[in-house]
Amino acid sequence: MSVLQDIIAGVRVDLDARRAIIGETEIRAAAAAAPPARDALAALGGGVDAAVRDATLKVISEVKRRSPSKGALADIPEPAVLAARYAAGGAAVISVLTEERRFGGSLADFDAVRATVDTPLLRKDFTVEDYQIFEARAHGADLVLLIVAALDDGELNRMLALTHELGMNALIETHTEEEVARAVAAGARIIGVNVRNLKTLDVDRETFSRLASLIPSEAVIIAESGVRDAADVARYAAFGADAILVGEALVKDNDPEAAIAAFIAAGTAAKPARSAASA
Protein backbone atom coordinates (compact mmCIF):
# COMPACT_ATOMS: atom_id res chain seq x y z
CA MET A 1 0.00 0.00 0.00
CA SER A 2 1.39 3.45 -0.95
CA VAL A 3 1.51 6.36 1.48
CA LEU A 4 -1.37 8.01 -0.39
CA GLN A 5 -3.52 4.89 -0.19
CA ASP A 6 -2.78 4.52 3.52
CA ILE A 7 -3.74 8.14 4.20
CA ILE A 8 -6.97 7.80 2.22
CA ALA A 9 -7.92 4.65 4.13
CA GLY A 10 -7.70 6.60 7.37
CA VAL A 11 -9.55 9.56 5.86
CA ARG A 12 -12.47 7.31 4.94
CA VAL A 13 -12.70 5.91 8.48
CA ASP A 14 -12.74 9.40 9.98
CA LEU A 15 -15.23 10.59 7.36
CA ASP A 16 -17.63 7.79 8.21
CA ALA A 17 -17.45 8.78 11.89
CA ARG A 18 -18.33 12.40 11.11
CA ARG A 19 -21.10 11.37 8.74
CA ALA A 20 -22.65 9.23 11.48
CA ILE A 21 -23.03 12.43 13.52
CA ILE A 22 -24.02 14.83 10.71
CA GLY A 23 -25.81 13.09 7.86
CA GLU A 24 -25.86 13.88 4.15
CA THR A 25 -29.07 15.92 4.32
CA GLU A 26 -27.82 18.00 7.22
CA ILE A 27 -24.43 18.75 5.70
CA ARG A 28 -25.98 19.78 2.40
CA ALA A 29 -28.34 22.12 4.22
CA ALA A 30 -25.45 23.60 6.20
CA ALA A 31 -23.50 24.19 2.99
CA ALA A 32 -26.48 25.91 1.40
CA ALA A 33 -26.90 28.16 4.47
CA ALA A 34 -23.24 29.22 4.63
CA PRO A 35 -22.26 32.76 3.57
CA PRO A 36 -21.10 33.01 -0.08
CA ALA A 37 -17.58 31.80 -0.79
CA ARG A 38 -14.80 34.31 -1.34
CA ASP A 39 -13.24 34.37 -4.82
CA ALA A 40 -10.05 32.37 -4.35
CA LEU A 41 -9.44 32.29 -8.11
CA ALA A 42 -9.33 36.08 -8.26
CA ALA A 43 -7.16 36.22 -5.13
CA LEU A 44 -4.62 34.04 -6.95
CA GLY A 45 -4.69 36.30 -9.99
CA GLY A 46 -6.91 34.11 -12.15
CA GLY A 47 -10.13 34.80 -13.98
CA VAL A 48 -8.52 37.32 -16.35
CA ASP A 49 -6.71 37.07 -19.66
CA ALA A 50 -3.33 35.47 -19.04
CA ALA A 51 -1.54 38.19 -20.99
CA VAL A 52 -2.68 40.88 -18.54
CA ARG A 53 -2.67 38.84 -15.32
CA ASP A 54 -1.18 40.47 -12.24
CA ALA A 55 2.55 39.73 -12.33
CA THR A 56 2.87 39.52 -8.55
CA LEU A 57 3.68 36.05 -7.24
CA LYS A 58 0.98 34.90 -4.82
CA VAL A 59 1.55 32.90 -1.67
CA ILE A 60 -0.75 30.25 -0.21
CA SER A 61 0.42 30.02 3.40
CA GLU A 62 -0.34 26.82 5.27
CA VAL A 63 -1.27 26.09 8.86
CA LYS A 64 0.50 22.75 9.24
CA ARG A 65 1.53 21.02 12.47
CA ARG A 66 3.18 17.92 11.04
CA SER A 67 3.65 15.88 7.88
CA PRO A 68 4.21 12.20 7.01
CA SER A 69 7.66 13.00 5.64
CA LYS A 70 9.02 15.26 8.40
CA GLY A 71 6.94 14.37 11.45
CA ALA A 72 6.26 17.21 13.89
CA LEU A 73 6.96 20.62 12.35
CA ALA A 74 5.71 23.16 14.86
CA ASP A 75 3.57 23.51 17.95
CA ILE A 76 0.61 25.62 16.86
CA PRO A 77 -1.60 26.08 19.93
CA GLU A 78 -3.58 28.87 18.26
CA PRO A 79 -3.90 28.37 14.50
CA ALA A 80 -5.96 31.54 14.24
CA VAL A 81 -3.05 33.61 15.55
CA LEU A 82 -0.70 32.13 12.96
CA ALA A 83 -3.28 32.67 10.21
CA ALA A 84 -3.67 36.30 11.22
CA ARG A 85 0.08 36.73 10.85
CA TYR A 86 -0.10 35.12 7.42
CA ALA A 87 -2.84 37.55 6.39
CA ALA A 88 -0.85 40.49 7.72
CA GLY A 89 2.15 39.30 5.70
CA GLY A 90 0.21 39.36 2.45
CA ALA A 91 -0.86 35.74 1.93
CA ALA A 92 -3.33 35.59 -0.96
CA VAL A 93 -4.92 32.38 0.37
CA ILE A 94 -4.50 30.53 3.66
CA SER A 95 -4.48 26.73 3.67
CA VAL A 96 -5.58 24.84 6.77
CA LEU A 97 -4.87 21.13 7.16
CA THR A 98 -7.93 19.25 8.40
CA GLU A 99 -6.56 15.69 8.08
CA GLU A 100 -5.94 14.42 11.60
CA ARG A 101 -3.95 11.17 11.51
CA ARG A 102 -0.88 12.19 9.51
CA PHE A 103 -1.02 16.00 9.63
CA GLY A 104 -2.52 16.78 13.04
CA GLY A 105 -5.17 19.06 11.60
CA SER A 106 -8.88 19.34 12.26
CA LEU A 107 -12.05 21.13 11.26
CA ALA A 108 -11.80 22.89 14.63
CA ASP A 109 -8.54 24.47 13.40
CA PHE A 110 -10.30 25.49 10.22
CA ASP A 111 -13.22 27.04 12.12
CA ALA A 112 -10.85 29.03 14.34
CA VAL A 113 -9.05 30.44 11.31
CA ARG A 114 -12.28 31.19 9.46
CA ALA A 115 -13.56 33.18 12.43
CA THR A 116 -10.39 35.28 12.47
CA VAL A 117 -9.41 36.17 8.90
CA ASP A 118 -11.28 37.31 5.81
CA THR A 119 -8.65 35.87 3.47
CA PRO A 120 -9.86 33.07 1.16
CA LEU A 121 -9.31 29.68 2.81
CA LEU A 122 -8.28 26.35 1.34
CA ARG A 123 -9.50 23.28 3.17
CA LYS A 124 -6.45 21.05 2.77
CA ASP A 125 -7.49 17.42 3.01
CA PHE A 126 -7.76 14.27 0.92
CA THR A 127 -11.12 14.71 -0.79
CA VAL A 128 -12.56 11.39 -1.90
CA GLU A 129 -16.31 11.90 -1.49
CA ASP A 130 -18.83 14.64 -2.27
CA TYR A 131 -19.70 14.83 1.44
CA GLN A 132 -16.33 16.46 2.13
CA ILE A 133 -17.01 19.21 -0.38
CA PHE A 134 -20.38 20.04 1.20
CA GLU A 135 -18.63 19.84 4.57
CA ALA A 136 -15.93 22.27 3.44
CA ARG A 137 -18.53 24.78 2.25
CA ALA A 138 -20.51 24.39 5.48
CA HIS A 139 -17.39 25.37 7.41
CA GLY A 140 -16.71 28.40 5.21
CA ALA A 141 -14.11 27.06 2.80
CA ASP A 142 -13.55 28.95 -0.43
CA LEU A 143 -11.21 26.44 -2.04
CA VAL A 144 -10.85 22.66 -1.77
CA LEU A 145 -8.05 20.31 -2.77
CA LEU A 146 -8.69 17.61 -5.37
CA ILE A 147 -5.75 15.26 -5.88
CA VAL A 148 -5.83 13.71 -9.34
CA ALA A 149 -3.95 10.62 -8.14
CA ALA A 150 -6.74 9.90 -5.64
CA LEU A 151 -9.64 10.16 -8.10
CA ASP A 152 -10.76 8.59 -11.35
CA ASP A 153 -11.89 10.85 -14.18
CA GLY A 154 -15.57 10.54 -13.29
CA GLU A 155 -14.93 11.51 -9.68
CA LEU A 156 -12.63 14.36 -10.65
CA ASN A 157 -15.11 15.85 -13.08
CA ARG A 158 -18.06 15.45 -10.72
CA MET A 159 -16.28 16.93 -7.73
CA LEU A 160 -14.86 19.85 -9.71
CA ALA A 161 -18.35 20.63 -11.00
CA LEU A 162 -19.75 20.41 -7.47
CA THR A 163 -17.22 22.90 -6.10
CA HIS A 164 -18.26 25.36 -8.78
CA GLU A 165 -21.96 24.75 -8.11
CA LEU A 166 -21.32 25.66 -4.48
CA GLY A 167 -19.53 28.85 -5.49
CA MET A 168 -16.06 27.59 -4.57
CA ASN A 169 -12.93 26.82 -6.52
CA ALA A 170 -10.71 23.74 -6.50
CA LEU A 171 -6.94 23.39 -6.47
CA ILE A 172 -6.34 20.38 -8.71
CA GLU A 173 -3.10 18.71 -7.61
CA THR A 174 -0.93 16.83 -10.10
CA HIS A 175 2.34 14.89 -9.93
CA THR A 176 2.86 13.47 -13.45
CA GLU A 177 2.39 14.35 -17.10
CA GLU A 178 -0.66 12.10 -17.29
CA GLU A 179 -2.24 13.78 -14.26
CA VAL A 180 -1.67 17.23 -15.76
CA ALA A 181 -3.43 16.08 -18.93
CA ARG A 182 -6.36 14.79 -16.88
CA ALA A 183 -6.60 18.07 -14.94
CA VAL A 184 -6.57 20.11 -18.14
CA ALA A 185 -9.19 17.84 -19.73
CA ALA A 186 -11.41 18.33 -16.67
CA GLY A 187 -11.31 22.09 -17.17
CA ALA A 188 -9.30 22.91 -14.05
CA ARG A 189 -8.82 26.63 -13.45
CA ILE A 190 -6.19 26.23 -10.71
CA ILE A 191 -3.61 23.49 -11.24
CA GLY A 192 -0.96 22.59 -8.70
CA VAL A 193 2.22 20.67 -9.36
CA ASN A 194 3.30 18.87 -6.21
CA VAL A 195 6.97 18.01 -6.40
CA ARG A 196 6.63 15.53 -3.55
CA ASN A 197 6.00 11.97 -4.71
CA LEU A 198 2.99 10.77 -2.71
CA LYS A 199 4.10 7.16 -3.04
CA THR A 200 7.62 7.62 -1.68
CA LEU A 201 7.44 11.14 -0.14
CA ASP A 202 10.65 12.06 -1.99
CA VAL A 203 10.96 15.63 -3.30
CA ASP A 204 12.19 16.37 -6.82
CA ARG A 205 12.03 20.10 -7.54
CA GLU A 206 12.77 19.48 -11.22
CA THR A 207 9.27 18.01 -11.49
CA PHE A 208 7.82 21.51 -11.50
CA SER A 209 9.78 22.80 -14.49
CA ARG A 210 8.90 19.64 -16.42
CA LEU A 211 5.17 19.73 -15.76
CA ALA A 212 4.43 23.47 -15.59
CA SER A 213 5.21 23.82 -19.30
CA LEU A 214 2.31 21.45 -20.06
CA ILE A 215 -0.28 23.62 -18.31
CA PRO A 216 -2.20 26.17 -20.42
CA SER A 217 -1.48 29.78 -19.48
CA GLU A 218 -5.20 30.34 -18.86
CA ALA A 219 -4.90 28.28 -15.68
CA VAL A 220 -3.36 29.53 -12.46
CA ILE A 221 -0.24 27.42 -11.83
CA ILE A 222 0.67 26.58 -8.25
CA ALA A 223 4.04 25.17 -7.14
CA GLU A 224 3.54 22.86 -4.18
CA SER A 225 6.15 21.50 -1.75
CA GLY A 226 9.90 21.86 -1.66
CA VAL A 227 10.07 25.55 -0.70
CA ARG A 228 13.02 26.07 1.62
CA ASP A 229 13.87 29.70 0.91
CA ALA A 230 13.47 32.60 -1.50
CA ALA A 231 15.80 30.96 -4.02
CA ASP A 232 13.41 28.03 -4.37
CA VAL A 233 10.53 30.44 -4.83
CA ALA A 234 12.41 32.35 -7.53
CA ARG A 235 13.16 29.12 -9.39
CA TYR A 236 9.52 28.05 -9.35
CA ALA A 237 8.44 31.51 -10.52
CA ALA A 238 10.99 31.48 -13.36
CA PHE A 239 9.41 28.29 -14.66
CA GLY A 240 5.89 29.71 -14.63
CA ALA A 241 4.47 29.50 -11.11
CA ASP A 242 1.76 32.06 -10.47
CA ALA A 243 1.71 31.10 -6.81
CA ILE A 244 3.43 28.85 -4.30
CA LEU A 245 1.90 26.75 -1.54
CA VAL A 246 4.20 26.65 1.46
CA GLY A 247 3.77 25.36 4.98
CA GLU A 248 6.92 23.96 6.60
CA ALA A 249 9.15 26.95 5.83
CA LEU A 250 6.59 29.31 7.37
CA VAL A 251 5.48 27.41 10.45
CA LYS A 252 9.14 26.96 11.44
CA ASP A 253 9.95 30.64 10.84
CA ASN A 254 9.75 33.02 13.80
CA ASP A 255 8.78 35.87 11.45
CA PRO A 256 6.31 34.47 8.90
CA GLU A 257 5.26 37.96 7.81
CA ALA A 258 8.80 38.79 6.70
CA ALA A 259 9.21 35.36 5.10
CA ILE A 260 6.04 35.80 3.03
CA ALA A 261 7.16 39.26 1.93
CA ALA A 262 10.55 37.86 0.89
CA PHE A 263 8.89 35.04 -1.05
CA ILE A 264 6.58 37.46 -2.86
CA ALA A 265 9.48 39.76 -3.75
CA ALA A 266 11.74 36.95 -4.97
CA GLY A 267 9.00 35.27 -7.00
CA THR A 268 7.72 38.48 -8.56
CA ALA A 269 11.21 39.50 -9.64
CA ALA A 270 11.78 36.09 -11.25
CA LYS A 271 8.47 35.71 -13.07
CA PRO A 272 8.84 35.90 -16.86
CA ALA A 273 6.91 38.62 -18.62
CA ARG A 274 3.63 37.48 -20.18
CA SER A 275 2.69 38.41 -23.70
CA ALA A 276 -0.38 38.12 -25.86
CA ALA A 277 1.45 35.52 -27.90
CA SER A 278 1.94 33.29 -24.86
CA ALA A 279 -1.66 33.57 -23.70
CA distances from 158 to 30, 146, 151, 189, 220 (A): 20, 11, 10, 15, 20
- Residues 6 or more apart whose Cβ sits within 8 Å of residue 114: 121, 139, 140, 141
DSSP secondary structure code for residue 271 in this structure: S
CA distances from 17 to 14, 21, 106, 112, 153 (A): 5, 7, 14, 21, 27
Strand ranges for 109-183 from DSSP E = 121-124, 143-147, 169-174
Burial of 38 (0-12, 13-18, 19+ CB in 10 A): buried
| Cα separation, 143 vs 93, whole angstroms | 9
Please compute, for residue 221, the number of CA atoms within 13 A of its CA located in the half-sphere on the CB side: 26
| Cα separation, 169 vs 25, whole angstroms | 22
Amino acid in the structure at residue 166: L
Cβ–Cβ contacts within 10 Å for residue 111, how many? 16
Annotated catalytic sites, by residue?
62, 64, 124, 173, 194, 224-225
